[in-house]
Amino acid sequence: MNFPTTCPGCAREVPAEFADSLIHELTCPQCGTRYVVFVRKQKFEVLFDLGTKALLEGYAREAVASFSAALERFFEFYVRAYALERAADTALGFEDALAALDGTWRHVASQSERQLGMFALAYLLREGKSPDFLTPGALGTDFRNRVIHRGALPRHEEVEAYAARVFGLIDRLLTELGPGAAQVELAQEGAFAAHLAGLPEGVVAVFEEHPGMFRARRFAGPDGGETATKTAPPGPATTPPLNDAQRFAWALAERGALLSPLKRR
């Protein structure tokens, strides 16, 4: 999947393909300027946005794979956020904490069931309660498996309901994490800084902040903060709390249009 970048040399639009590292080394085909685009976004956000884009374009089945991957990567994000948050309170240096975390994650990296176990424990330790939302029903596991492993062709409404469920879960957990996600954001900045330091002379660095579906939540405070207030739906204070489908619908209305730069080319 491509996204547009702007050449810092001639201001023409140059498409780039999303890289796993979210670091994109480019050479402008028009003027030859070499530049690197760093996308300040977490993997789960990129995947969720790709799912949303696929759903909006009518690729319902493909969207399920992206939403499902987004949830798995979010669980990893949560574990990393929690581990680094804890390490920040100890004498362990940030780099050492990160290395220990990476070494630990290696044991679970290839199996999503193990990752789910790590997440469950991280949630228990951080929140002091059981992650009772981790039921197959709440996660839409059966639907996901039918589509991904058994080739079922889902209807648009089914995928939308699944997306709403994944969105609602991530949205709530991000709210609970609040500033707890700061360290894991810092880890990405660290990776960007290391890459930046190794760039040859004359290569321009560009930092991009894409308007992801979870942006408002991630950059707001634990209570939603100013950004979230602006995106809150109108209505009296007595409005009942939103269900997942409504939350997703509002996020889509708010951010869906902004995802249009993520054009397939």
The number of residues that bind Zn ion (CB under 5 A) is 7
Q: How far is the CB of 262 from Zn ion (least distance, A)?
A: 21
* Euclidean distance between CA atoms 264 and 60, whole angstroms: 15
Question: Are 10 and 30 a contacting pair, CB within 8 Å?
Answer: yes
By beta-carbon proximity to Zn ion, the closer residue of 26 and 50 is: 26
Q: How far is the CB of 77 from Zn ion (least distance, A)?
A: 34
Coil/strand/helix, residue 99: helix
Percentages of the chain per state (helix, strand, coil), in multiples of 5: 60, 10, 30
By beta-carbon proximity to Zn ion, the closer residue of 13 and 96 is: 13
Query: What tokens were used for 259?
Result: 């995802």
DSSP code string of 214-229: THHHHHS-TT-HHHHH
The binder of Zn ion chosen from 17, 19, 31, 121 (CB under 5 A): 31
By beta-carbon proximity to Zn ion, the closer residue of 108 and 204 is: 204
Q: How far is the CB of 6 from Zn ion (least distance, A)?
A: 9
Q: How far is the CB of 14 from Zn ion (least distance, A)?
A: 7
Instruction: Verify binding: residue 7, Zn ion, rule CB under 5 A.
Output: yes
* Euclidean distance between CA atoms 13 and 24, whole angstroms: 14
By beta-carbon proximity to Zn ion, the closer residue of 27 and 243 is: 27
Q: What angle do CA 2, 158, 214 make, to 5 degrees?
A: 50
Question: Are 52 and 166 a contacting pair, CB within 8 Å?
Answer: no
* Euclidean distance between CA atoms 44 and 82, whole angstroms: 16
Going by their DSSP bridges, the two strands 34-39 and 204-208 should be labelled as parallel
Instruction: Verify binding: residue 8, Zn ion, rule CB under 5 A.
Output: no
Q: How far is the CB of 206 from Zn ion (least distance, A)?
A: 12
Instruction: Verify binding: residue 224, Zn ion, rule CB under 5 A.
Output: no
Instruction: Verify binding: residue 227, Zn ion, rule CB under 5 A.
Output: no
* Euclidean distance between CA atoms 70 and 74, whole angstroms: 6
Rg (CA), the chain: 19
The binder of Zn ion chosen from 1, 2, 9, 148 (CB under 5 A): 9
Instruction: Verify binding: residue 6, Zn ion, rule CB under 5 A.
Output: no
By beta-carbon proximity to Zn ion, the closer residue of 30 and 145 is: 30
Q: How far is the CB of 261 from Zn ion (least distance, A)?
A: 18
The stretch near Zn ion (CB under 5 A) out of 4-12, 135-143, 166-174, 238-246 is: 4-12
Q: How far is the CB of 30 from Zn ion (least distance, A)?
A: 4
Instruction: Verify binding: residue 145, Zn ion, rule CB under 5 A.
Output: no
The stretch near Zn ion (CB under 5 A) out of 24-32, 35-43, 70-78, 250-258 is: 24-32
Coil/strand/helix, residue 183: helix
The binder of Zn ion chosen from 4, 21, 25, 30 (CB under 5 A): 30
Instruction: Give the closest residue to 17 by CA, choosing from 7, 30, 5.
Output: 5
Binding site for Zn ion (CB under 5 A): 7, 9-10, 28, 30-31, 33
